[in-house]
């Protein structure tokens, strides 16, 4: 099979499109011929060597994608050859063929395409648990979303509005502000433009019920605009490590800091199925809109990485074998 591989850490130029051996499925695994693969910043971090990678080179990136079952291990009855499945947390996805543990396979409804599933699954499941578990959004809540034009940011906006919240977004440019407004945000402010003061103004000095912070270095500012008794959900460090949080501040203001990580949520096949199918239903009903992704051939993966790292892309980037 062909795969996008790398043998040393570095920039996009280390990626190579090469012929390698087909994967061998083990017990409780299915072999999937990939149709679409989601590209994420985690792939960039792994390529650079910022994240630990098991095994020896050549390394294969990718954790998210969808395809058609080509082979099934003996004893598996839940799936059959020809079924369309997707996954959000299976390694080595940047290849023609991927071995997928059966518990991580998500059966695709007929009305969800491979492209849609691969464009929304990882980010959509993240936005789902953030609004359903980390802080359960209810009608009338006010929420602030950092990096509101990003993949998770735009989905947080849409799910927040779907659940009846007032949504404020933060972005770095006017063009990204337009994307956040297009997703349904009630207000969008730019970083560096006295955004905390503006958030306080529109909440009449109280602050918001919850802040979703994926930037990290903004954590102190997030607490500043959180109301007494409110919460900050910390789930990323795109802008650098956060400053330490004083527990005395949390006590004095009755505010809550909670962390979020998708892998602590996707702990069973039932969790994956229930959460993804609610997401798919929202999409099929038109309650959540998935923007058309930017598509690259898998062999042009280095170009896709360059675009993602430029932070000029809005919406998902897909790799097509």
Question: Residue 52 above 80 pLDDT?
Answer: no
What integer pLDDT is reported at residue 41 of this predicted model?
A: 87
**Per-residue pLDDT reduced to its tens digit, 224-243:** 999 999 999 999 888 888 89
- pLDDT tier, 259 (very low <50, low <70, confident <90, very high otherwise): very high
- pLDDT tier, 260 (very low <50, low <70, confident <90, very high otherwise): confident
Q: Decide if 165 contacts 137 (C-beta within 8 A).
A: yes
Integer Cα distance of 294 and 44 in angstroms:
17
CATH 3.90.78.10 fits 2-120+266-320, yes or no: no
The per-residue pLDDT of the chain, averaged, comes to: 95
- Mean pLDDT (whole number) for 208-237: 96
The closest alpha carbon to 187, from 224, 145, 232, belongs to: 145
- Mean pLDDT (whole number) for 194-222: 95
Count of CB atoms situated within 10 Å of the CB of 184: 17
**Per-residue pLDDT reduced to its tens digit, 285-314:** 999 999 889 999 999 999 999 999 887 777
- Between these two residues, 106 and 292, which has the higher pLDDT value? 106
- pLDDT tier, 193 (very low <50, low <70, confident <90, very high otherwise): confident
- Mean pLDDT (whole number) for 241-255: 95
- Mean pLDDT (whole number) for 208-229: 96
What integer pLDDT is reported at residue 55 of this predicted model?
A: 80
Domain 2-120+266-320 and domain 139-259 have a common topology: no
- Mean pLDDT (whole number) for 52-62: 87
- Mean pLDDT (whole number) for 247-265: 95
According to DSSP, the residues that pair with 44 across neighbouring strands are none
- pLDDT tier, 147 (very low <50, low <70, confident <90, very high otherwise): very high
What integer pLDDT is reported at residue 83 of this predicted model?
A: 98
- Pairing state of beta strands 59-60 and 2-6? antiparallel
Domain locations in the chain as residue ranges: 2-120+266-320, 139-259
- Mean pLDDT (whole number) for 33-61: 90
What integer pLDDT is reported at residue 249 of this predicted model?
A: 97
42-46, 52-56, 137-141: range with lowest mean pLDDT = 52-56
For the chain, percent of residues with pLDDT exceeding 70: 100
Question: Residue 146 above 80 pLDDT?
Answer: yes
139-259: CATH number: 3.40.50.720
- pLDDT tier, 3 (very low <50, low <70, confident <90, very high otherwise): very high
Integer Cα distance of 125 and 88 in angstroms:
9
Q: Decide if 116 contacts 88 (C-beta within 8 A).
A: no
What integer pLDDT is reported at residue 56 of this predicted model?
A: 83
Give the CA diameter of the chain.
62
- Mean pLDDT (whole number) for 258-265: 91
């Amino acid at each position: 099979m062909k795969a996008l591989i790398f043998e040393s850490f570095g920039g996009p130029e280390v990626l190579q499109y090469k012929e390698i051996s087909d994967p061998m499925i083990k017990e409780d695994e299915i072999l999937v011929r990939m149709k679409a693969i989601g590209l994420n910043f985690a792939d960039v971090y792994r390529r650079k060597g910022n994240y630990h990678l098991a095994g020896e080179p050549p390394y294969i990136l990718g954790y998210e994608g969808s395809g058609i079952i080509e082979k099934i291990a003996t004893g598996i009855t839940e799936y059959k050859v020809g079924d369309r499945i997707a996954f959000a947390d299976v390694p080595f996805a940047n290849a023609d063929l991927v071995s997928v543990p059966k518990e991580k396979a998500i059966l695709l409804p007929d009305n969800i395409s491979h492209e849609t599933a691969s464009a929304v699954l990882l980010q959509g499941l993240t936005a789902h648990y953030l609004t359903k578990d980390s802080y359960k959004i209810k009608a009338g809540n006010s929420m602030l979303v950092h990096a509101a034009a990003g993949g998770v940011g735009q989905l947080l906006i849409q799910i927040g509005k779907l659940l009846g919240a007032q949504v404020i977004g933060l972005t770095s440019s006017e063009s990204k502000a337009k994307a956040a407004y297009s997703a349904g945000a009630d207000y969008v402010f730019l970083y560096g433009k006295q955004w905390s003061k503006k958030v306080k103004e529109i909440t009449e000095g109280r602050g918001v019920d919850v802040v979703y912070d994926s930037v990290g270095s903004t954590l102190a500012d997030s607490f500043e605009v959180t109301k007494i008794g409110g919460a900050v959900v910390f789930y990323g460090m795109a802008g650098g490590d956060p400053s330490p949080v004083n527990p005395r501040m949390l006590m004095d203001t009755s505010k809550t800091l909670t962390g979020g990580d998708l892998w602590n949520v996707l702990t069973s096949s039932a969790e994956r199925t229930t959460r993804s199918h609610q997401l798919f239903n929202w999409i099929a009903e038109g309650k959540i809109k998935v923007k058309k992704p930017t598509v690259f051939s898998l062999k042009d993966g280095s170009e896709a990485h360059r675009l993602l790292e430029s932070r000029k892309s809005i919406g998902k980037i897909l790799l097509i074998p």
